Copies of this chain bind each other. A is one copy, B any other.
């Protein structure tokens, strides 16, 4: 029985032998998409579990002994409903909220409910590659929408959709990250959101709003969510606890019309999300959300400031530009046109600085518009490492002759 069994005739046609992507980390890791490990409230989360057991061990044990509710923990959905009402200005019942295995599962389920192979979907011309991967996996053709430093430009969006319809290519829906966009860091002003909602209704184009960075604002106040500006059901809202607390908790959520929820859930593989993590998150956030944000976001701001200052000191002479986010995790660095920082990414990584090249975020994967961009995550490393790593990055750009 030691002969190796051959699966060639057995693998499904849809399966593909893609390599497993094991993430490695540079000395200065600006490639990550993570919050600061030193701010993760692990002790508080553990204490919340202990408190839940002390308060009502029978209830907690029973919850853990059942397979989770298909929508996820009732208590955490109640808390989320209150959070959305108080912080994002819209009212949804706990039973209109679906907890998911990270916001990635939420986005994947909604995409499957809305997308036939060959469908055209719209997204910012540079956008989160995890969602782009899911679009491609489920057969969508992604078309990038022009953005500026504030995000989607409504007039251009309208014209682009109109042109597409004229050429028989009506888009199905729009995916957007309006707050502290990934990778650009921009936040879409309220007036643009209102205009985009009008366009959405004009063309019957649902908006899949990914609000996963809204809790990470260290400057000014959040713009109102698309969902808060429109109660018609045209907005599907996705967010996450991963960024605020810890990615390892793997808890996100979405809300939308009842039928969209049903159709999305029908694509879930396995059962509801992790009850153990949900109990910890619920207990922790009910008592500590504000103090946690008051601890977390000033440090995030300091990290941003160190990175920004080092960019001013080391990149101004390069003719580079970069975004000035008011929250989130990312600065979007633009080198002069024709400056290819995508092809030297691996060498720079080996020399100690990790970043994600702009080409990875191209919505239409044209390979034409992202070469001179990089996403720099300022949330993970310390302020001092942000400063020193950016200096090293400047040196490496000179070494590899993309700057001088």
Residues of A bordering B, CB below 8 Å: 1-7, 9-23, 32-38, 40, 42-43, 45-46, 49-50, 53, 57-58, 60-71, 100-102, 104-105, 108-109, 112-116, 119, 134, 172-173, 197, 201, 204, 206, 229-234, 242, 246-250, 257, 259-267, 269-277, 280, 380
Expressed in whole angstroms, the minimum distance between the Cβ of A106 and any Cβ of chain B is 8
Residues of B within 8 A of A1 (CB): 197, 201, 229-232
A-B contact list, 19 entries, CB within 8 Å: A12-B112, A12-B119, A14-B112, A15-B263, A22-B70, A23-B67, A32-B66, A36-B65, A37-B64, A37-B65, A45-B276, A46-B46, A65-B247, A66-B248, A101-B101, A104-B270, A249-B276, A267-B269, A274-B276
Query: In the bound complex, what is the Cα–Cα distance between A397 and B60 (angstroms)?
Result: 34
| Complex contact A65–B380 (CB within 8 A) | yes
A17 CA to B274 CA in the complex, in Å? 25
Distance in angstroms between the alpha carbons of A10 and B171 in the assembled complex:
10
Name the contact of A269 in the complex, choosing from B4, B109, B380 (C-beta under 8 A).
B109
Closest to A263 in B: B15
For A73, the closest partner residue in chain B by CB is B248
Q: Are B270 and A20 in contact (CB under 8 A)?
A: no
Q: In the assembled complex, how far is the CB of residue A48 from the closest CB belonging to chain B, in whole angstroms?
A: 10
Q: From the candidates B11, B43, B64, name the one contacting A263 in the complex (CB within 8 A).
A: B11
Per CB-CB distance, the 9 closest pairs between chain A and chain B, nearest first, are A248-B275, A108-B269, A104-B270, A64-B248, A37-B65, A105-B270, A15-B263, A5-B234, A5-B233
**A62 smallest CB distance to B (angstroms):** 5
Contacting pair A18 B266 (CB below 8 A)? yes
How far apart are the CA atoms of A66 and B24 in the complex, in Å?
A: 11
A173 near B232: Cβ-Cβ < 8 Å: no
Q: Chain B's nearest CB lies how many Å from the CB of A32? A: 7
State in angstroms the CA–CA spacing of A115 and B11 once bound together: 7
Q: Specify which of B102, B246, B266 is in contact with A276 (CB 8 Å cutoff).
A: B246
A113–B183 alpha-carbon span in the complex (Å): 32
From A49, A62, A67, residue with most partner B Cβ within 10 Å: A67
Whether the Cβ atoms of A67 and B247 lie closer than 8 Å is: yes
The listed residue (B2, B11, B108, B263) touching A17 by CB distance below 8 A is B263
